[in-house]
Each structure stands twice: as structure tokens, then as C-alpha cells.
Structure 1
Amino acid sequence: MRRRVLDHVLVTGGAGFVGSHACKALRNAGFIPVTFDNLSTGWEQAVRFGPLVKGDLMDRAALDAAFAQYRPVAVMHFAALSLVGDSMKDPAHYWRVNIGGALNLAEAAVASGCLNFIFSSTCATYGDQDGVVLTEDTVQRPINAYGASKRAIEDVLANFGAAFGLQHVIFRYFNVAGADPEGEVGEQHRPETHLIPLMLEAIAGRREALVLHGTDYPTADGTCVRDYIHVTDLVQAHVLGLRWLLEGKGSTAFNLGTGNGFSVRDVIRHAGQVTNRPVPIIEGPRRAGDAAVLVSGSQRAETELGWVRSHSTMDQMIRDAWAWDQKPGYDS
């Protein structure tokens, strides 16, 4: 019997938190994920489900070589600078790297004939719109350079679609949490900036305390409110988005969220309950560029993609992240 040849998908940032989980989901769905990563923030040990190409998105020749070697049927683009505070201190760096890298990638994809593009965007493109559950039709008004750079990339994809037929699915989300329930990959950054792993480091005693960046926001308890999605649910949406494109359904955008917001203090309370340990905290000033409330709906993804959230309770996200935290990490 003739063996079926599996299709390749180029995954930029596949050595990072979300990218590595996406690679596992792709492999489970019958694709071969090809990680393209410069390993500046990713981990080579996280590349477990397909080949690794060590390369930088600013290096067009390296991209062309990867497309020529693997002939991917699609691109999943996760690689980007993503720290809101840093983007406000050095916006030029964010515009140069995020937009320049995405432009190189889109040009290389079109030149190779790969016209399916899944883009990891962000609900930060909507800006600070308190009291509103964000939908795909909400006006985008980013308030930081990170969100603005992602918004600009969405425009690049629209332009490339009109000019070259590049079909794209854009996913807008934020505050991805949890870890692979099977423990093969998890969340680990250098430096760590995400709330839940920082909180767990403080609980475990590897950090003095969790710093609350602002306690005077116009919210019920004074701390920022965010929507959280389990990484396993998130990457399943990306696989569904890939199938959407391969079935020729055309370019679109989807928000990915639960529609429920948790304040920083809410997350701390859940972490204490799940781990049965206290969370040491220090109150600090606000960070520039942080919105007070960001909550995203996902009705379009549910109805059109058939996306189902099966892991995205706060307790489940913390439980899986805590299990990953308690095992040796990539840098052990």
C-alpha cells in the first residue's frame, strides 16, 4: 500500500510557547510542522514534532531556502516581539522587527506559491474599550506599539490578498495560559513576563513576589481585567483555520476568547486555591500601554470554524501550568 505523503506547514516561532503547542497540534492533525525560529526567545528542546530551521525572519534568503526545501502548503506566523511595556519604550524596534519580518515572510510565501497564511494577531489591536466584549467588527484602535504593529501586519495581509491572492486567517487573542496536559511542552520565557508563570514562580519560591502593575484601574478591585484561553484550545483553532484555508473558504478574522474577564486579583485567588499555597505580592505602578479591560467574544469562531473550548477554565489553566512548573524546564 502506498504511504500518504504528509503536507508541511511552516511555523514561525515554533520553538516558543504557543508555537510549540501548535506544532504538536499540527502533527496530531496529520501535518509535518517545520519550525522556523532564530531561538532568541524560543527553546530548541521545544521543537519535538518536526524539523527545525534556525533562521531569522529578517533574512530573506533563509526564508526562501526553507520554502524551497519543504514546499509548505501553509504558513503559521507566531514569531514576534510581544511585550507591551517594551514596545512603548522602543516602538521603532517593534515596527522594524514585527512588520519587517512579516513582510519578508509574506513575500517569500507568495514567491514560492504558498498562498495560505495563518496569522497570530492580538486583541491589543482593539485598544482600551472598557465595558465592551470585543467582536471582529469592533473598531481597532491600538494604544501601544505592539498592538499597532500587529494591526499593520493585518493590513499587509489584506494588501497581499488583493494583489497576489494570499489567503489568510487572522486570529486575535491574548493572555494564553496553561500547558500541554500531557507535559511535552509548556510555557517558559526568557525573561518571563506572563502573569500566571510569574505568579507560580512566586508561589514556588523562585521569585520574591508577584508585582501587581497598577492597582488603581477603574475595575472592581483596581487591577486589570483580561480574558484567558488555554493554549491547547487556542492551537486547535489554528488547525481549524488551516483547514478553512485548504478548503478554499477565503480570508477572514476570528477573535478567540471566552467572553469572561478575570482581574489580576481574581487569578491570584484561583492560583491560591489550586496550589493550596499563598501568593506573595508587591503592589507596583501601572505599565505604559496597558488597557484596563480587554475581554473577547468568539461567537464567529464557534459558529463558522466549529471551535470548541474544552480546557479554558481558570482552574484548569493554572492546574496545567502548575504541573509544568513543577517539572524540569528547558533550561534545567
Structure 2
Amino acid sequence: MRVLVTGAAGFVGTHLVRLLRGEGHEVHAVALPQERLARDLTDVPKHDCDVTDAATLERVFRETAPTWIFHLAAISRAQACLDDPALAWDVNFLGTHDVYRVAAEVVPEVRVLFVSSAVVYGRPAEEDLPLTEEAPLRPGDVYAATKLAGDLLGAEFALSGRLAVIRVRPFNHVGPGQDKGFVAPDFAAQIARIEAGLQEPKLQVGDLTPARDFTDVRDVVRAYLLLMEKGEVGAVYNVCSETARTVQEVLDGMLALSKAGVKIEVSSRRTRRGQPERVFGCAEALHAATGWTPRIPWEQTLRDVLDDWRTRTASVLP
């Protein structure tokens, strides 16, 4: 298939492009002009485009004539959305509208997979767990609201027959290549620096009690591909492991992979207020549609994240 991936230079986009290329698809990457693709993907055609630029989107869609579009481009950090809500709405909602509208006009037979987020479920009540796709929608911040808007707009385009849109709501994902600002890479980066002698053997952590549903990013993008192939137009699918792991479990698993002796220090600066205590999902709809189940063991995921940060840390050593 001829495939277009927006947000192709990001953490998830990079893994998706790798998977698609490995499966033999003709892949075209859409990213901002200042963004660069991973070193092993420099042979993939890159199209400089901001998704809020409808004219450039139209040109790229006409030039590439994709059979599939994976729409990942977004401002994906909650704090960045809080800092600039107007930009968040511009990119995450209006940019998504442009992708849908231009695709419907230029490549009307295309299938589009829109990456929403499980944050649209907000702070779930205990009786709502595990979260299914029918769970109440309670977007509690700007990021969640913008993703839900793009999600529901995709449903409207699909159900009205204007465009074949499939929606996914991924829960937390983790893996090599993820930057700091998330639990696993934050821990891994500090451990790697401690091992290299660049940081005192003190590991700064926030609240270790919340539990989240983590899935390896490589399993996540495999789910995206399977849903593009087999998913029902207009439907929405959770992508999750169906297991809740506490932040403490993430930390313990990471420390078990290192011989560095560290002291744990709880920092209020690393604690996000107003977060739900426990969130995990149900992926039965995804299983039923595609047969997907996670393949990569949890310990392997943590090992790969830690090794990634060991490599990054070694690259800056004198």
C-alpha cells in the first residue's frame, strides 16, 4: 500500500514508519520542516508540512495519492496544551479537520486511522474499570478536550459517508526512543546518568502510587496496522494491555535491571496534581477485530528503554 504518516518524526510515528516499511509498504512521512526522521529512516520520503496548512496538505495528498493515512500529528504533551490552548486547538482539532476535509476532497477512497487518546475518559470511577469504548467521556484538560474533538469529528466524517475513518484510543505507551517527560524514560535517563557517574546516586521521583495501563509502543503500532487492515469504518478501539501497573512497579522493574545503588528521593516538583489513581482499559473490541494481543514482555520493554538511555548518555560522554 501507499501510506502517509503524519507526525512521522515523533516517538510513535518513528516506530510506525519502521513497521510499515518492514512490511513492504511504500511509506511517505509528513513532519514539520525542522523535524528530522530517525537515522535508519532517512531513505523514507519526507514531506515538510504543518497539518494546519491546508494548501500544503492538499499538495502532499495529490503528490502521494495515499491508500492509507495514519494521522498522528498533534501537540501531545498535556502541559504544552495548557501553556498554549489556542495552538493546541489549532493543531489537534483544526489541523485534524483539515486532514479529514482535504483527504475527502483529494483522495476520497483513502482509509484514515486517527490516533485519539484514552485521556478522553478523564478520571474514571472505580466501577467504570476496565474502561471500554462505551465508558463516559470526561475530558479534564485542554489536551483531552482537543483529542476528543478530533475523535468525534472523525466519527462524523465516517458515519456521514464522507471519509473512511477508524479511531483508536491508546492508553499509556512506552518504549525505546521516548523522550523525558514520561515515567519510564525519566527513570531510565537518571539511572543511565548515575551508572555513567554523571549524577549523584539519587533518583528523583514523584508520586509512585498511581497505576496506569502501559503497552510497548511496538505492540501499539502493530495494533494500528492491524486496525487499518481490518478495523470497521466509524468504529473506535482501545489499544491497551488490560493491566494496571503502578509507577512504583515501573521504578522497581527499572532498578532491577541496573547494578547501580541509588537512593530514592520523592520530589513534589515531579508530582502531577489531579491525576486519577488507577486507569486501565479493555481491548476486547481490538482483539475481536484483529486478533491482536501484546507480544513484548514487560521486562523487555523496560530493558530496551534503559538501554536506549544508556546509549544516549554514552553519546555525550567526553
Correspondence 1:38-49 to 2 at 5 A: 38=32, 43=37, 45=39, 47-48=41-42
Tell me if structure 2 keeps the 8 A contact 1:301–1:307: yes
Tell me if structure 2 keeps the 8 A contact 1:16–1:46: no
Compare 79-88 and 97-106 and name the one that shifted more: 79-88
Q: 1:26 to 1:43 in 2, by over 3 A?
A: closer
Q: Which has the higher helix share?
A: 2
Instruction: Report the secondary structure of 1:296's partner residue.
Output: coil
Instruction: Report the secondary structure of 2:267's partner residue.
Output: strand
Q: 1:64 to 1:138 in 2, by over 3 A?
A: same
Which ranges in structure 2 are unaligned for 5 or more consecutive residues?
none
Q: 1:27 to 1:175 in 2, by over 3 A?
A: same
Indicate the residue corresponding to 1:182 in structure 2.
none
Runs of at least 4 residues off by over 4 Å: 39-44, 206-211
TM-score, normalised to structure 1, is 0.84
Q: Distance in 2 between matches of 1:289 and 1:46?
A: 40
- From 190, 207, 212, the counterpart of 1:226: 212
Correspondence 1:44-123 to 2 at 5 A: 45=39, 47-48=41-42, 50-114=44-108, 115-123=110-118
Q: Distance in 2 between matches of 1:54 and 1:299?
A: 37
- From 5, 13, 17, the counterpart of 1:11: 5
Q: Distance in 2 between matches of 1:318 and 1:235?
A: 18
Deviations 1:234-266 (A, max 9, x none): 111111011125xxx422111111121112111
- From 286, 290, 300, the counterpart of 1:301: 286
Q: Distance in 2 between matches of 1:204 and 1:328?
A: 9
Which ranges in structure 1 are unaligned for 5 or more consecutive residues?
1-6, 180-185, 216-221
TM-score, normalised to structure 2, is 0.88
* 1:268 partnered with 2:251: yes
Q: CA deviation at 1:130?
A: 4.2
- From 299, 304, 311, the counterpart of 1:320: 304
- From 119, 124, 127, the counterpart of 1:129: 124
Deviations 1:99-138 (A, max 9, x none): 1111111111111124311011111000001431111111
Tell me if structure 1 keeps the 8 A contact 2:213–2:243: yes
Q: Distance in 2 between matches of 1:275 and 1:111?
A: 53
Aligned-partner residue type, residue 16 of structure 1: G
Q: Distance in 2 between matches of 1:232 and 1:39?
A: 26
Q: CA deviation at 1:327?
A: 2.4
Q: 1:136 to 1:142 in 2, by over 3 A?
A: same
Correspondence 1:183-332 to 2 at 5 A: 186-187=177-178, 189=179, 192-205=180-193, 211-213=204-206, 215=207, 223-244=209-230, 249-278=232-261, 280-284=264-268, 286-288=271-273, 290-311=275-296, 313-328=297-312
Matched-pair identity in %:
26
Instruction: Report the secondary structure of 1:235's partner residue.
Output: helix
Q: CA deviation at 1:171?
A: 1.3
